[in-house]
Structure 1
Amino acid sequence: MTDILERFSFNHATAKFWDQREAIDACARTGSAIGLWREPVAEQGLASTAEYLQDAGVPVTSLCRAGFFTDPTPEAIEDNKRAIDETAALGAPTLVLVSGPIPEAGTIDSAREGVKEALSLLAPYAIEQGVTLAIEPLHPMFASDRCVVTTLAEALDLAAPFAPEAVGVVIDTYHLWWDPEVWNGITRAGAEGRIASFQLADWITPLPAGVLTGRGQLGDGCIDMRRYLDAVDATGFTGKIEVELFNDALWARPGQEVFDETRAAFEGVLTKAARA
């Protein structure tokens, strides 16, 4: 195994319908890490999943996802606290937060204020549990129905009132590639110690009808992966790098086949970066 492959983390969503334990087994065979999702963990049981991971010796890079608290009701806050507990139980350092949509009775401004309020309620609990909340900015096309946080700068501003170990950010190439200010944001995130998760996915053109499931395999799209890798590494970040692909065509294929292809694409992209 190369040093590059030692940084590979396979986000389970890349093979969404593959049995979680089979995905963990594949990671164990190859010395890879894994990113998990709450729903499959719940299906197989939190304690059972944690035990299986420990026995397999597979580290968890993140748990997806919590958030959806633009209208921070007590129920939303309690669900996020449960997600923090689940993250800690799995031994994962990071809980990924997708902020949520514009509430039915609100505006994008009120939604963003709701995110601030929710973070202030959750950050102290996250510190107690040893979990970092990772704000993930999504592409602006998702602002109305999924995530009102759309730039890395905005995510960093939201994180700024809290300690870096409590609130960090996700750098996801699929969502940030379009932003000319992202390079300054990556530098800032590194200087502030807030890079909690680094995720790769490519942008393919034309996008399929279901844009949510249109992420391309690494190297198949237009994103300058090498520049992202170099920029993040330049901050001193040496952590695992997740590949998280939402793609209907991939989901229709056998999980092991998708895993092998994704791992090979990851090695190709990062080896190219390392030799540049």
Structure 2
Amino acid sequence: MSLERFSLNQWTTRYWPLPDLVAGCAEAGVTGVGLWREPVAEYGLARTAKLVRDAGLTVTSLCRGGFFQQPDAIAENRRAIEETAELGAPALALVSGGLPEGSRDVDGARQRVADALAELAPYAGRYGVRLAIEPLHPMYCSDRCVVSTLDQALDLAAPLPAAQVGVMVDTYHLWWDPGAYAAIARAGAEDRIALFQVADWITPLPEGVLTGRGMLGDGCVELRRFRTAVDEAGYTGPIEVEIFNDDLWAMPGAEALSLCVARFAEHVT
């Protein structure tokens, strides 16, 4: 496996300006990038689409939609779907959101996710965009994501067309789950795998857990086992390296990218 499946998620090199990121990827032979809505909006949506297209890169996903506990979630997610389509990305990453402020009703929060997906899926279909439900580690359940396992994500996707709603496999969030590999096989059988992301889990976690993802090979995740399982499930698409880590963010962008590529070859492929 060569670099054709490697994709650099923009947040891995968070402070690398978008034009420099695009030029650096092109120079390194990396053809895929996963983008985030905030820096895209700052640079300009149409301008970003042209920049990436002119450099010969493919946008592998846009992050993120979801956060369905917010009162304006449906309208905001419609805008995110439109942005995904304009960038030519096949998938919009969905982080479902946590509990509304003051609420303890986790079942109600999960039902809200299901209702939102039912409303948004046809809209995504009209734009040729696939909603990629991303389960997050259970420690994020209260505030960021009430969907914690791949099976939960698949159950939410099940009533809706696979072309409109899929799931994301993220090693950082799923490595702990004893049912993860069976769920990956299920996702493949149901044609639901929309995206595959890799990062490692380091112990002990840094104080700021949101920036505690490890460089590939620095932690305890069986990265190659995940990649093999996803391949065997029939997924042949991009593999995004998405690492939130202060030390990595402090590195020059080109240096961080080079390290990611080397570790990807060593631990994932």
TM-score when scaled to structure 2? 0.97
1:270 aligns with 2:268: yes
Q: Is the 8 A contact 1:59 1:92 kept in 2?
A: yes
Name the counterpart of 1:274: none
Partner of 1:4: 2
Aligned partners of 1:155, 1:87: CA distance in 2, in Å?
Answer: 21
- Give, in whole Å, the separation in 2 of the partners of 1:44 and 1:223: 35
Query: What is the rounded CA distance, in whole Å, between the counterparts of 1:190 and 1:150 in structure 2?
Result: 19
User: Cα distance, 1:235 vs. partner?
Assistant: 1.2
The answer to whether structure 1 residue 61 and structure 2 residue 60 are counterparts is yes
1:202-241: CA deviations, max 9, x gaps?
Answer: 0000100001100000001000112101101101211110
- Could you say what secondary structure the match of 1:157 adopts? helix
Q: Distance in 1 between matches of 2:235 and 2:118?
A: 26
SS across alignment from 1:34: strand
Q: 2:15 aligns with which of 17, 27, 38?
A: 17
Matched, 1:87 2:51: no
Separation of aligned partners in 1, 2:12 and 2:4: 19
The corresponding residue for 1:170 is 168
Partner-residue secondary structure (3-state), 2:268: helix
Give the CA deviation at 1:248: 0.9
Cα distance, 1:32 vs structure 2: 2.5
CA distance in 2, matches of 1:40, 1:228: 30
Contact 2:7–2:30 (CA under 8 A) maintained in structure 1: no
Q: Once the 2 structures are TM-superposed, how far is the Cα of residue 105 of structure 1 from its aligned partner? A: 4.3
Please give the alpha-carbon distance, in whole angstroms, between the structure 1 residues aligned to 2:24 and 2:162.
32
Residues of 1 paired with 2:141 and 2:265: CA distance? 32
Paired residues of 1:14 and 1:246 also in contact (CA < 8 A): yes
Name the CA distance, whole Å, in 1 between partners of 2:141 and 2:159.
Answer: 23
* Matched residue, 2:140: 142
Cα distance in 2 between the residues matched to 1:76 and 1:223: 33
Aligned length: 267
Cα RMSD after superposing both structures: 1.0
Distance 1:229 1:136 in 2: 17
Tell me the distance in 2 between the aligned counterparts of 1:270 and 1:98.
Answer: 24
- Deviation larger for 3-12 or 81-90: 3-12
Matches within 5 A, 1:16-35: 16-29=14-27, 30-35=29-34
Deviation at 1:31, TM superposition (A): 3.4
Query: Shift of residue 6 of structure 1?
Result: 1.4
CA distance in 2, matches of 1:21, 1:185: 38
**Identity, % of aligned pairs?**
60
Q: Is the 8 A contact 1:70 1:113 kept in 2?
A: no
- Which residue does 1:220 correspond to in 2? 218
Which residue of structure 1 aligns with residue 69 of structure 2? 70
TM-score (norm. length: structure 1):
0.95
- Counterparts of 2:92 and 2:26, CA distance in 1: 22
